[in-house]
Copies of this chain bind each other. A is one copy, B any other.
Amino acid sequence: MSGSMLRSQQRRSLGPMSKPISFARGAPSLDIIDVDGLRASADQAFTADPAGMTAYGTSVGYIPLRQWIAEWHGVDVKQVLVTNGSMQADAFLFDALVQAGDAVIVERPTYDRTLLSLRGRGADVRMVELEPDGIDVAAVERVLAAGVRPKLAHIIPNFQNPAGYTLSLSKRERLLALAREHGFTIFEDDPYVALRFEGESLPTMLSLYGDSVVYASSFSKTVCPGIRVGYLVGPEPLIARVAKIATGTYISPSMVSQGIVYQFCRSGALERSIETVKAALGERARTLSEALRREFPDARFVDPQGGYFMWVELPRGTDVDALFDAAAERGVQFVKGSDFVLDGGEASLRLAYSGVTPEEIDEGVKRLAGAYEQIRSAPAGAAA
């Protein structure tokens, strides 16, 4: 029996156990979402404030939730604007600040949708290498020294998407100093901040020096994504400009969604939900690290201290496109590293562990290892 026939038979024999396992989507599994708490919050919201829930409201958001967010961040309420998910916040901010040709610094790798959104606006995207302790600030300095005058630096400081890395305190301070000195705004994109399951929390750049920062976050990772509630915090004049753009785009984000989130926050359900999610993510991240160490001894990765993602670098020359296809045949999905950069990234991949149970992680990594073995043996077999 040829190697290829054997592999083909093995694939077929995976049939009964090959329920699809997705490491692709950065989304929580249903078992770590507090559906009962959401249902109770909805009931409470319609009872407590029927007028506020059902009227148009305004583009700054549902007033009690806006106030709650302002208190959470210790800022004036006029610095807050609630949006239909935090990607909508990004879009409004870019509409306000980024013209075609404007330079914007982003991390390399970075969130693929941000990259698409900036490129779609014709921004001059400058990728700067991301290190395990955050963006390479010395490289940012070199970009500035070369005369680039960025409008924005987009930074995902905690448990970065896709890398899972966290920006150190000293780098936060150095970035803020550069922003002050060179007059650019740091766009601190921080949806994962509440999901630290190891190590100590670091102060937000917003809290260190708010004048240079626009901050975005979301309830997608602490309540649920389908509720679509994100927000911006920034200097009052900028928020007023964004509010005007938002009014002209959709009048207001869903008051019903926001009213539910508000009741979820004030009832204590949010804190309980965060504890549930952190405990589950911590276990999932540890399971994934252990499985990778066992099955991929030549892979490089950093154990995440929070969030949803792990970035895995395979030996130079690994064909991740081929790995993607071979994994798909085994019912395993991930996102190719090349999706998160302008070029390169061919030997890396992003694994999201947020939507998979520990059992699925073990099984998924085992299948992935099978796919890896297949793509490494294939060229040798072809040459034989």
A352 → chain B closest CB, angstroms:
12
Q: Is A38 an interface residue (CB 8 A)?
A: yes
Q: Please state the number of chain copies in the assembly.
A: 2
Beyond A39-B46, A254-B257, whether A54 also contacts B227 by CB under 8 A is yes
Chain B residues in 8 Å Cβ range of A56: 25, 27, 220, 225-226
Chain B residues in 8 Å Cβ range of A46: 35, 38-39, 42
Q: Is A377 an interface residue (CB 8 A)?
A: no
Contact yes or no, A84 B254, CB < 8 A:
yes
User: Number of contact residues on A: which range applies?
Assistant: 35 or more
- Tell me the residues in window 67-125 of chain A with beta carbons closer than 8 Å to chain B beta carbons: 83-85, 87-88, 91, 113, 116-117, 120
A31 → chain B closest CB, angstroms:
10
Q: Is A297 an interface residue (CB 8 A)?
A: no
Contact yes or no, B226 A256, CB < 8 A:
yes
Q: Is A63 an interface residue (CB 8 A)?
A: no
Beyond A39-B42, A42-B43, whether A228 also contacts B252 by CB under 8 A is yes
A273 → chain B closest CB, angstroms:
11
Contact yes or no, B251 A57, CB < 8 A:
no
List residues of chain A with CB under 8 Å of any chain B CB. 25, 27, 30, 33, 35, 38-39, 42-43, 46-47, 50-57, 83-85, 87-88, 91, 113, 116-117, 120, 220, 224-228, 248-257, 259-260
Contact yes or no, A50 B27, CB < 8 A:
no
Contact of A255 among B117, B226, B249 (CB under 8 A): B226
Chain B residues in 8 Å Cβ range of A51: 30
